[in-house]
Amino acid sequence: MDLSGLTAVTTAAEMQTWLSANCLSPISPVMTGTDFGVIMQKIIDVSASAITGESNGITLVGGSLGLGGALQSSVNIDPDTHSFSIANSKVGFYVSATNPPGIHFAYTDTDNGAAGGINANYQSGSQLFWQNPSTGALQMIQLGGTTPVAGKMLVLDAVNSKGLEYYADYSAANVSNPRWLTDKQYVDDAISGNTYTPAQATESTAGIVALATLAEALAGTDDSKAMTALKTLSLILNEKKTVSYQINPVNISEVSVYMENAGQVNSLLIAGATNAKLKIGTGGTYPSGTQTYPFTYSAGDRVFISFTYTDQANTNCNIKLKCQDN
């Protein structure tokens, strides 16, 4: 059979024309088996229509099987053993059955040296990421997943270490929104008083309060400022320094001291005399043995002190009480 004109056929229409012209009965010269195979291969090569009976538009062009036309029924891929991908040099969509299984969309901008995509799988959770392929620097928002923290939200910024950032100032639209996350500028403005004036603290209202100076603490007249631990201690020590005591001689070997505040005598120093003993008031009783300390007293008490002169011919001595007020 003469097949010389078959090489010029490139389309299905041209194939039909060639068949009509060359396959008339009787075929002369006779068609051999080899001739028949060449003709069928040519029919396959120029055919771009759907294979008969396939509802999903499956086509066979040049020996390659592909999807063509509109899908008219479901295509099921076994997720345990097979993966599915649609990709070119820049964009890819993948349904992966490998570890970790999941759905992935990725793009690669070779012109600008960048890449990004969306991942959703059990191990790493759902991710929106951007990556510089030349440096590997990654920016990512991740929800859930087993790594790095299960059930948490992760923001990773290995590009400029800034993390999440608002594009503009959205504070005005969120003044009454209790769920809005404030940004640094809003907080800075609030602290400086540009957008918020905090209330002054009172005995019934929480707010801000100024600290008292040491002079104000010692004066004790300002009721609107707070005291620090150091100034409180300074005030206490200062008050203790201003305590006065009245000493009254009772007889040649006994005196009494009027105690303005309640407290205790921790020790007694004496020179020129010995055997000092203490009692409260005229009705009190001196101890029969050695005096013990601390010796407590109340505000307004008279503490009596008896003693024995070291030199009876020289009846003078010095007594010092070391007291601590309550």
CB 133 within 8 A of CB 108: yes
pLDDT at 18 (0 to 100): 82
Burial of 278 (0-12, 13-18, 19+ CB in 10 A): buried
Exposed, middle or buried by CB within 10 Å (0-12, 13-18, 19+), for 119? Answer: buried
Residue 18 sits at φ, ψ, to 5 deg, of -65, -40
Give the per-residue pLDDT at 41.
Answer: 78
User: Is residue 48 scored above 60 in pLDDT?
Assistant: no
pLDDT band, very low/low/confident/very high, at 206 (cuts 50, 70, 90):
confident
Between 61 and 29, the more confident residue is 29
The percent of residues in the chain predicted with pLDDT above 70, rounded, is 69
Closest-CA residue to 51 (of 38, 39, 60): 60
Question: pLDDT grade, residue 101 (50/70/90)?
Answer: low
DSSP state of 180: P
Whether 111 and 130 have beta carbons less than 8 Å apart is answered as: no
Query: Residue 297 pLDDT more than 60?
Result: yes
Higher local confidence (pLDDT), 71 or 189: 189
In terms of pTM, does the model score above 0.75? no
pLDDT number for residue 233: 84
pLDDT higher than threshold 60 for residue 79: no
> What 3-state DSSP class applies to 267?
strand
pLDDT band at 302 (very low <50, low <70, confident <90, very high): very high
Parse the chain into domains and list their residue ranges. Answer: 1-75, 84-157, 180-209, 245-325
Per-residue pLDDT tens digits for 121-135 = 655 556 666 666 566
Report pLDDT digits (tens) over 208-226: 889 999 888 888 888 889 8
Which of 143-152, 232-241, 314-323 has maximum average pLDDT?
A: 314-323
Q: How confident is the model at residue 164 (pLDDT cuts 50, 70, 90)?
A: confident
Please, which pLDDT band fits residue 289 given cuts at 50, 70 and 90?
very high
Name residues whose C-beta falls within 8 Å of residue 182's C-beta, 6 or more positions apart in sequence.
Answer: 171
Q: Within 13 Å and on the Cβ side, how many CA atoms surround 20?
A: 6
Distance from the Cα of residue 170 to its chain's centroid:
21
Beta bridge partners of 258: 246, 302
Q: What is the DSSP string of 117-137?
A: EEEEETTTEEEEEEE-TTT--
Q: Which of 83-92, 139-148, 239-248, 285-294 has the lowest mean pLDDT?
A: 139-148
Element (H, E) at 39: helix 33-46
Lowest mean pLDDT among 146-160, 201-215, 262-276: 146-160
Residue 44 pLDDT class (50, 70, 90 cuts): confident
Task: State which of 61-70, 137-146, 239-248, 295-304 shows the largest mean pLDDT.
Answer: 295-304
Q: At what angle do helices 33-46 and 12-22 cross, to 10 degrees?
A: 150
Q: Return mean pLDDT, the chain.
A: 77
